A and B are shown apart, each in its own frame.
Chain A
């Protein structure tokens, strides 16, 4: 079954890259929504059914940390798993994002295969 995905990143070329490598990896992508910050992401989530969120951290208006906090506060959105994709591979940052409710954390650089494996783990955990 194809999954509906929301990509949240302020860089249009990074959103394009993620969309492409998800498909390249063989991960079954259905609808693919995009947002350039947390505010836009919340609006997209209220509008569309989304199976998984892939989010950056550093973004204008509302960053990835605040997005995770808001997801935790909103009953229905709390169920949508979030995978953080960031250049920041420091232990402090990873632990912080996981403590805020992220279900996975991928650091750049990442391969198409590792992205698919992480998405399947997250969605498998949810579905299993």
Chain B
């Protein structure tokens, strides 16, 4: 889908959302060794989730927000680091979720706009707001849930 997106002359919001789900799913499968499927939105868990924001600038400006449900954090960190479940330290869990956000953001933006010039900010833990803005996608994993939103504030043609 993401590869096909660049071939579509005028992608719709649905095209972007589908690409978002596909790319994020591939990241989780390839580097976190878990299976993620796009799921219907259900957001009651946002308030207890770990929330991350990654701003981006350059030819395209905006931000990605990501929420990882509380119960998914430790298994994802353990899987990424090759540790037994619950073996990851708290600091490592946070670092892994920040890294997940960084990888998803870079992969999604590069897929959506392969000709762009982008600069990603360092991912930061954030309050649970803005998660439903822009293109949004919810994913269900065996370990819990992940939600991702991308808000595009502007495109600079000459960047």
Q: Which residues of A are in contact with B by a Cβ distance under 8 Å?
A: 11-14, 16-17, 20, 24, 58, 86-93, 107-111
B111 an interface residue at 8 Å Cβ cutoff? Answer: yes
- Chain B contacts with A in 70-119, Cβ cutoff 8 A: 77, 80-82, 92, 95-96, 98-99, 102-103, 105-107, 109-111, 113-118
Contact of B114 among A17, A89, A108 (CB under 8 A): A89
Minimum CB–CB distance from A100 to chain B (whole Å) comes to 16
Decide: A12 and B110 in contact? CB cutoff 8 A.
Answer: no
The residue on A at minimum CB distance from B95 is A13
B7 an interface residue at 8 Å Cβ cutoff? Answer: no
B151 an interface residue at 8 Å Cβ cutoff? Answer: no
Minimum CB–CB distance from A19 to chain B (whole Å) comes to 9
**Residues of chain A with a CB closer than 8 A to B116's CB:** 90, 92
Q: How far is the CA of A24 from the CA of B33 in the complex (A)?
A: 13
Q: Interface extent on B, as a size class?
A: 20 to 34
Q: Which residues of B are in contact with A by a Cβ distance under 8 Å?
A: 26-27, 29-31, 77, 80-82, 92, 95-96, 98-99, 102-103, 105-107, 109-111, 113-118, 120
Contact of A92 among B31, B96, B117, B120 (CB under 8 A): B117
Decide: B103 and A13 in contact? CB cutoff 8 A.
Answer: no
Pair count A-B, CB < 8 A: 72
Q: How far is the CA of A110 from the CA of B30 in the complex (A)?
A: 6
Beyond A13-B81, A90-B115, A107-B110, 8 additional contacts (C-beta under 8 Å) are: A13-B80, A16-B81, A88-B120, A89-B110, A92-B115, A93-B117, A108-B103, A109-B30
Contact of A109 among B77, B98, B103, B105 (CB under 8 A): B103
Q: How far is the CA of A20 from the CA of B110 in the complex (A)?
A: 26
Decide: A11 and B99 in contact? CB cutoff 8 A.
Answer: yes
Q: How far is the CA of A31 from the CA of B110 in the complex (A)?
A: 33
**Residues of chain A with a CB closer than 8 A to B95's CB:** 11-13
The residue on B at minimum CB distance from A109 is B30
Decide: A109 and B99 in contact? CB cutoff 8 A.
Answer: no
Minimum CB–CB distance from A59 to chain B (whole Å) comes to 10
**Residues of chain A with a CB closer than 8 A to B106's CB:** 86-89, 107-108
Pick the most buried of A24, A58, A88, A111: most chain B CB atoms within 10 A of its CB.
A88
**Residues of chain B with a CB closer than 8 A to A108's CB:** 27, 31, 103, 106-107
Q: How far is the CA of A36 from the CA of B118 in the complex (A)?
A: 22
Q: How far is the CA of A53 from the CA of B94 in the complex (A)?
A: 27
Pairs across A and B, CB under 8 Å, 28 listed? A11-B95, A11-B99, A13-B96, A13-B99, A17-B31, A17-B80, A24-B82, A86-B106, A87-B106, A87-B107, A87-B120, A88-B106, A88-B118, A89-B106, A90-B109, A90-B114, A90-B115, A90-B116, A90-B118, A91-B114, A93-B117, A93-B118, A107-B107, A107-B110, A109-B26, A109-B27, A109-B29, A109-B31
